[in-house]
Structure 1
Amino acid sequence: MHPLEAFYEKKLICVYCSKPFTSLRVRSRFSIPYQVDSDFCPHYRAGNYNPHFYYVNVCPECGFAFSEEFSDQFSKGTKEVIGVQITGQWAKRDFGKVRDIQQALESYKLAILAGSLKREKNAVLAGLCLRLAWLYRTENNTDQETRFMGLALKAYEESYLHSDFTGTSMSEINVLFMLGELSRRLGQYKKAITYFAKVIEHKEGKDEQKIITRAREQWRIAVEENRQGTM
């Protein structure tokens, strides 16, 4: 049993079909991580709840899944494609209750599909892939973790190339750091070193000292890992 006071209901409106529904959120005092990895993946002990299980909202009526970072604008023709590939295939289900790991994983895959068909910003898609990789890490599923870290890296690279992170929760320095850390975790050490150096030398670095310090630490680790890999 889950203590009901750990959760609260959030009222939402579907971005796609405009129908109202509710989804759970975890109260902050019940979601305190005991450890946070270098790519910001949080880990929770029993009695605490992972808020990333509830990051994605899934409309029970039409099946469209989205995070709060999704825009409410749809490119021409995308609604019709979503209608065929998502809503037309949807068997009504309710993701608005307490989720287990399988429902959390499924919610992210639904959102990645929806965001891709909607042509959502690469920065938003990267965030979904990254969080999905985190969930697989907590399940010790290395193959799927690696797969979705790779997809997150690719999406962040596109985001950086086209500066489409503007208007999202990510700054350019944040994107560059994630590019460095994901490259490092995927064994692409030279690429990681280059991205971390861009963070350290960034003209706006004085405004984000914590991530600059973290980038210096990860740069040193990447340099050492690269040296060991070439010995």
Structure 2
Amino acid sequence: MLKRNVAALLISAALPIAGYSGQQDPLESPLWDHMRAKFIGDQEYVFDSNVKVTVPEFAEDPTQVPITVNAEALAGKIDKIVVFADLNPIQHIFTYYPHKEIVPHLSMRIKVQQGTAIRAAVLSKSGVWHLGGSYLDAAGGGCTTPSAAAANTYWQDHLGEMKSKFFPREQGGRYKLKVVHPMDTGLVSSIPEFYIENVEVRNFEGAPLAKLELSQPVSENPVLTFDVRDGSQGHRIWMRDNGGNEFENAL
């Protein structure tokens, strides 16, 4: 009986781990249990090397930190991707709803308040969360630093202006987009939150493809980079901020 029980334990250890609070966090974050409860609840999850989060070794400017989330290995199986920073005062960064024509590989710049784990939680169509992440070392203060727009009226005349460039690739292509917006977090005294909260990649006829829900930690004048499977059809981008302003442009 003892040998049978030991064998059963060895077999269960080799299987994918279901979600439970005792699972070892590879990033050893003090807030992991809280983050798990907040963003994935009691659903099953597994730490998965197929979900890659790339960050710089050190964030010299905590208001403009480039991150890349790559879940290409799970393409076609993804319901949504949720990205968050454990130790930010506002943890949620963005939620991404991919589309078969858009590769689940995107980059942007974010604000961080201190060194923190940056995580991507990928919900598969089977209902299991696949988690990847990296630790970001940072000087801190990015979320409570006033935006440059706070001392400059330029953005008032150019709010929502976009610049984009397309880079052909062997398969499909890559868009890099920048939009003028202060992306105020609301954590600076006398400066209310003011940020882009919805983004849609649309085909040239205007039908929505991939969708993004952004939060305040996305950097001022957001820079977004994403890949498409077919760059020949042309795409548009649509955005709306929490003030109700809408912006749309051809890419």
Bin for the TM-score computed over the shorter chain: under 0.3
Higher relative contact order (CA 8 A, sep 6+): 2
TM-score by length of 1: 0.23
TM-score by length of 2: 0.22
More strand by share: 2
More helix by share: 1
Larger Rg computed on CA atoms: 2
